[in-house]
Amino acid sequence: MASLSIAMVLQLLVFVAALYTVEVNGFNGGDDGAVRLVSTVAEQREFDYYALAVQWPPTYCSKSTKCCAQNGCCRGSNSPSVFTIHGLWPDYNDGSWPSCCSGPAFNETEISTLRGVLEKYWPTLSCSKSSTCHNKKGLFWAHEKHGTCSSPVTGEEYNYFLTTINLYFKYNVTEVLFDAGYVPSSSEKYPSGGIISAIENAFHTTPQLICTKGALEEVRMCLTKDFKFRDCVSGSDCPDYVSLPEFAVSDALNGAKTAHRSFTGRESS
């Protein structure tokens, strides 16, 4: 009996070790620059809810130090002036999330008809290629490896992206905040509680706010699998007053743009 108990304990430890691994997401490939638990079992259980994440490009782009054709931070007057999509992420109630579930690899041709909308409202905000499933690097959209785990609800790849775009326009965070007076400013700071209240009043759900150095970087809203609002697992990490910065290209980025323009003989885009 004793040896059987030990064997069972060992099996349990192996299972737990296989179930979770720590993934550290950095600036160029991660979902939020934080350490999170990722489910890595071969047959991952179905997710519990969605997190719809939209990001404020000026805050994100303040960390950019390199320009290239794909970087939406380098488009000058055409740089994003609204919250853009970061992702629609399947999550678990325990704070972890599934990633790279079974299914075909990302196929860019499947979303070719959505390309214009994705470039504008779901742009890449860096020059680095993103990590994808199947141990590859690729487009920012291919990084939506979480989308492979959404298939029980959204189905094939095209439908995942179309569903996300539709939710983004249906729950227009930019419109809600701008209408409430929370507009980009190089000097103003706004109460984070007021920003939360504006979204609560519009959508009857409490969002999660993510900040970087006191600037609002991301708004997340959590939804059930039939796309009704529910509480998010984690709370906001913003201070009492936050900024919503205007686009201000850093000196380092200005230097990178100059070098890129000199090398190519044309403006970065």
Q: Count Cβ atoms below 10 Å from residue 48 Cβ, excluding itself.
A: 17
- In the set 146, 157, 217, 260, the catalytic residue is 146
- In the set 23, 143, 144, 217, the catalytic residue is 144
Q: Count Cβ atoms below 10 Å from residue 226 Cβ, excluding itself.
A: 6
The token duo for 199 is 């979204």
- In the set 23, 86, 157, 217, the catalytic residue is 86
Q: Count Cβ atoms below 10 Å from residue 113 Cβ, excluding itself.
A: 10
Instruction: Mark whether 86 is an active-site residue.
Output: yes
CA distance 158 to 150: 12
Instruction: Mark whether 144 is an active-site residue.
Output: yes
Q: Which residues pair with 229 in a beta bridge?
A: 223
CA distance 169 to 191: 25
Asked if residues 211 and 237 have their Cβ atoms less than 8 Å apart, the reply is yes
Taking alpha carbons only, the member of 130, 129, 126, 70 closest to residue 100 is 130
Instruction: Mark whether 260 is an active-site residue.
Output: no
Taking alpha carbons only, the member of 190, 162, 69 closest to residue 124 is 69
Q: In 171-244, which ranges are continuous DSSP H helix?
A: 173-179, 192-203
Give catalytic residues, as residue numbers.
Answer: 86, 144, 146
